Amino acid sequence: MESKPGNALTGDSKFTVRGADDVMTAGPILNTNQRARCIRAVIHAEEHRLRETYPILGHQDLLGLATFVACLVMMATVATAYFAGYLIWWLAIPFMALPISILHELEHDLIHDLYFRSQAWVQNVMLFVIWFAKLSLNPWYRRGIHLKHHSVSGQEADIEERLIGLGLPFGILRLLVTIHPMAGMLLFRRVKRDVPEFQPWLLVLLSVPTYTVFNIIWESYFGYLRVQSGWTFPYDPALLLPAAGWPWARDLTVLLILPNVLRQSCLVFMSSCSHYYGDIPERDVFFQNQILNHWAFLPFQLFCFNFGTTHVIHHYVINQPFYLRQMVAKATLAEMRQQGTRNNDLGTIARANRWSLIAGTIVSPFRARTHKRQLTNGVPVFSSHVGTRDFSTHTPLEM
């Protein structure tokens, strides 16, 4: 099957779609701008229907504040039940992770200015509380790199997603970045090399309060474990820990550190699997995400508010609260599949998040390299050690 030349940057190329389930097709897509318009039309129509049916959706500030307070109450309830002995530690961790994961969604909505738009002080109070509940990246710094993510998604300049492993080949580094909330620092050097304006020192400096708390509790907890198990080494700082501090380190780890590790790991895994990277056209939303709703991902989806299923919707319409995105999902995902959006492309990690099979060969998970973008007649060509991908004139692989 042949494809006709076109401009990949504007989405005008004449491309071939073989269906949403044919996730391994390397061929470009027909009129992606038109497909995106159809998808957005369904999202807006479904939102309008829901707002007409449920007038309470018009009270967006109230719903955001109510969700914020409810999450804090849930966290206090879990902590109280744990301290009272009604909740064992291995249940307290996931039960605490659930409201924190919803707070993360609220933070994301606040970054997009969806609540209290005219009352910045309310936004800042909510962001401050969420910041310490998550013990993570400074949310005011995150606002900058997240908004940039929407304009450069899947490209080298996508700092936010690259710091959680997007584009990395499967291996120890990617696993470490997924599991440990601070492991993204290991990627600072390579991101800085590709994106000179990235300032790692500013990220760390602005996040010192929460990063310090996280690391003190984390190191203290494992220090106590080393002492109790006899695994200390000469001059181990853990030997200086006072015995009276063990209950504090244990309980804070159960109620704050491990819930956030669980929540963050699930979110990073789903996010880094649902985005594409490196060999996609710039600013073409059709190529940026897939739908990930395979049943095997349900345990991960639980702790990131169904991110894999619905995040693709957010890329098409960014000004919807997280709960409304869930409500429009059924109709929207059906339209997305109809328009050829990929669904459960489970090979994305093995391809280091690349969209395509290049030259008919899967990019090796152990040898994949970052594709360097070049321009041929103003159209991007992406090259790797196994071949090139030209979005101007490309013949789909016959599968």
Distance CA 262, CA 299 (A): 11
The rounded distance, in Å, linking the Cα atoms of 175 and 303 is 18
pLDDT at res. 357: 67
Q: In DSSP terms, which residues pair with 289 in a beta bridge?
A: 275
Cβ-in-10-Å burial (0-12, 13-18, 19+) of 386 comes to: middle
In terms of Cα–Cα distance, which of 123, 120, 93 is closest to 108?
123
Using DSSP, state whether 39 is helix, strand or coil: helix
- What is the reported pLDDT for 30? 58
218: tokens are 């984390």
Q: What gap in Å lies between CA 93 and CA 91, rounded to an integer?
A: 5
The pLDDT score that the predictor gives to residue 189 is: 96
Give pTM, 2 decimals: 0.83
- Encoded tokens for 141: 């710094």
Q: Give pLDDT, residue 374.
A: 38
Predicted confidence at residue 215, as pLDDT, reads 96
What lies within 8 Å, CB to CB, of 211 at 6+ separation is 135, 182, 204
Can you give the pLDDT at residue 349? 87
Low-confidence ranges of the chain (pLDDT < 70): 1-30, 357-399
- Residue 381 is predicted with a pLDDT of 38
Give CA–CA dist 209/219, Å, rounded: 16
390 neighbors 297 (Cβ within 8 angstroms): no
User: What are the domain boundaries of the chain?
Assistant: 44-210+251-336
Q: What is the pLDDT of residue 387?
A: 32
58-94 as b/e, with b when 16 or more CB fall inside 10 Å? Answer: eebeebbbebbeebeebbeebbeebeeeebeeeebbb
Residue type, 239: L
Could you give the CA distance from residue 351 to residue 206 in angstroms, rounded to a whole number? 34
